[in-house]
Homo-oligomer: A and B are copies of this chain.
């Protein structure tokens, strides 16, 4: 194993100088730098990151906390993040957190154990953040949810404007002539008022109100987590509870795909007997039979902005930011225009 000591010996310089070359310090003569570089290349020397980190008293890697397993949409964001981080020479560790678990407390534990230099949350419950994020000191970003109202000085957030996007989804159904609309998704529970899913739900209710279309959450809304199975069950419950529904908005494409299966199993044709619009815009939405109409979030931009901001804040003393990235309505084949009732 070649160490910095070997390079020092071989090049005739001291280890201090080698270290300076390694870290691109300006105060090294060009000649020295070149000679040392040559020895480094020839020996294929790679610095020991443990020693470096120990010395710098900074800590290992960046941790990505993914809320909810098997989420295709998050999967693509994770891949984007990993690539971006790697391009910038940063290592990342991924942790999967159960949909119903407290990701902030999990992060606190991880900070104690592994002392990451930054945290990226993929999804999260705003209430958990409000309550426990104060215990976290490292620069962090929350993706796909907004932490704007929380006021933590080490937490940025990048998200689709969920309220606006949900309104678009509902609006899309209404413009197609639907008035009996069900909504599924969001792992809402009693303490969850700031949760993303209530944001989306709130947006929906507003649009219903604007169009003067009655909407009774107790009847027309069914929470569920992000999985095929849960989407299936939620749609099943909803369709039994209110068979008059002509359309469903699912707060995730995975949920929508589960719901599509449930509808078909109940003997409904899509979109003839039931219209369906999803959320996320996963690649499969363009391949399903029929193709899923959905709201496409900009995964790439969310990942890119999140990483850029985190790296800046890890290295400089900057204020966190809260941004919103664009979305698009993708017209698939699962929404049927209805004759207007009037």
Binding site for B on A (CB under 8 A): 44, 46, 48-51, 53-54, 59-61, 69-70, 72, 75-76, 79, 82-83, 86, 91-96, 112-115, 228, 232, 257-258, 260-261, 264, 283-284, 286-289
Contact = CB atoms under 8 A, between A and B. Distances in A.
Nearest to A270: B289
A83 B96 CA distance: 8
Contacts of A113: 46
- For chain A, what secondary structure do more than half of its interface residues adopt (helix, strand, loop), or is it mixed? helix
B54 A79 contact: no
A59 B70 contact: no
Contacts of A54: 48, 50-51, 54
Contact of A93 (B61, B114, B228): B61
Given A86-B95, A228-B286, A257-B287, 5 more contacts: A49-B115, A260-B287, A261-B287, A288-B289, A289-B289
Contacts of A79: 69-70, 96
Give how many copies assemble into the complex: 2
A52 to B, nearest CB: 8
B287 A232 contact: yes
A46 B112 contact: yes
**Smallest CB-CB A-B distances: 7 pairs:** A50-B54, A261-B287, A50-B53, A50-B50, A228-B287, A46-B112, A51-B54
A252 to B, nearest CB: 14
A283 B59 CA distance: 38
A189 B286 CA distance: 29
A262 to B, nearest CB: 9
A307 to B, nearest CB: 15
A283 B228 contact: yes
Contacts of A95: 82, 86
Contact of A94 (B72, B94, B261, B284): B94
Given A76-B70, A95-B82, A283-B70, A261 B232 contact: no
B94 A82 contact: yes
A257 B79 CA distance: 22
Contacts of A70: 75-76, 79, 283
Nearest to A75: B75
A48 B113 CA distance: 8
Contacts of A83: 96
A337 to B, nearest CB: 22
13 contacts: A50-B50, A51-B54, A70-B75, A70-B79, A86-B95, A91-B114, A92-B94, A93-B93, A228-B286, A260-B289, A261-B287, A261-B288, A288-B289
A79 to B, nearest CB: 6
A279 to B, nearest CB: 17
Contacts of A286: 228
A61 B53 CA distance: 14
A51 B60 CA distance: 11
